[in-house]
Structure 1
Amino acid sequence: MTKPALLVMDVQQAITERVPDPGYTPRLARAVAAARAAGVPVVYVVVGFRPGHPETRSSPMFSGLPEGAFTEGDPGAAIHPDVAPEPGESIVTKKRVSAFTGSDLDLVLRGGGIGHLVLTGLATSGVVLSTLRQAADLDYRLTVLADGCGDADPEVHRVLTEKVFPRQAEVTTVDDWIAGLS
């Protein structure tokens, strides 16, 4: 069987503040706790830049970030405390929307013998979509925890999780995924 890892993507303070669902981070915390209990590695993916944001200058999406945003020391860049990493868990910093772009995620995963990604994160139409597409092209097996993802547009979230993602991934809920771990 292909070894899984739970990816917790872009669940950073400045991003989670925009999520209207107050149950999101507690629900995701249950998935993280269950993964740890089952011996499934938890890998955190965060967006982060150098001071002055030299990596963003060519990016229409990121070039407008305020000075200091998502740099070391920015409180908004911190992983939400409900799902904070434990010592020894990998934190991968990315420079674009996909968790793979501008990061060493593929090296971390392959080095750990990971071939099955369980995707969670914010936003469904951003990091989750981009990572799913790139991971599929890299031949990873994929699961998406639909309620472990969130988007500012509930209809976009619904269409992606019900119509688009099932073409390349198993789509399930946090509770159903946890039940399958035992």
Structure 2
Amino acid sequence: MTKTNPALLVMDIQNGIVSRYAEKPEALAPFQKSVEAARKAGIPVVFVRVAFRDGFPEVSSANKMFSAIKNQGGMTEAEWATQIHESVAPRENEPLVTKRRVSAFTGSDLEVVLRARGINELILTGVATSGVVLSTLREAADKDYHLKVLSDACMDGDAEVHRVLTEKVFPRQADVMTVDEWISSVNE
């Protein structure tokens, strides 16, 4: 069995997205707990956000989701909406990866950051389960990463979609567990 070298990915926990999904501050507690546990265990924490350059040069009119953002404006790199939420703010030595699509890998330097550190296992957290978590899990599985998903550190606007993904779809390619179960496994 290959020894794993893990990293915790905290994906799209940025102001403009959190404000739409986490109505109560306690909804972010599992994210905070996972970040604190990773730091304590010496596991690298990598923050991922979606943001665009001024003028949206990377957004095609053929992309239904992102062309709508382009038409409305917002979500550029410097805006409040694209900054990581203060409840899990990155420390100085923790990378912030900016992606240009749904998957954390697409249009970003995530893979370069992971390779530089010899990371071969990803612990996935994020908003939304049916967006960044699903897309990143699928791409990471195709890239042969060992994968874990922290089910209670993922959120989706549709509880049933979240349930189906975490209970039926994700287990085909990842170990799905709660934050507490993961912390117990790290401390063994």
The reply on whether 1:17 has 2:19 as its aligned counterpart is yes
1:27 is aligned to: 30
Shift of 1:24: 2.4
Equivalent of 1:172, from 143, 168, 177?
177
- Whole-Å Cα distance in 2 between the matches of residues 55 and 63 of structure 1? 10
How do 1:3-152 residues align onto structure 2 when only pairs under 5 Å count?
A: 3-20=5-22, 22=24, 23-58=26-61, 59-65=63-69, 66-67=72-73, 69-152=74-157
Shift of 1:122: 0.4
Figure out how many residues of one structure are paired with residues of the other and give that number: 181
Structure 1 residue 156 corresponds to structure 2 residue 169: no
- Distance in 2 (CA, whole Å) between partners of 1:132 and 1:57 is 24
Task: With the length of structure 1 as denominator, give the TM-score of the two structures.
Answer: 0.96
CA deviation profile, 1:57-106 (whole Å, cap 9, x unmatched): 33211011122x12132111110101000001011110000000001111
Give me the identity figure in percent: 58
Deviations 1:3-50 (A, max 9, x none): 000000000111011114632212211110110010000001100111
Take 2:97 and 2:86, find their aligned partners in 1: how far apart are those partners?
17
The structure in which a higher percent of residues are helix is: 2
Letter in 1 for 2:144: D
Deviates more, 1:86-95 or 1:16-25: 16-25
CA distance in 2, matches of 1:134, 1:27: 24
Whether contact under 8 Å (2:22, 2:28) holds in the other structure is no
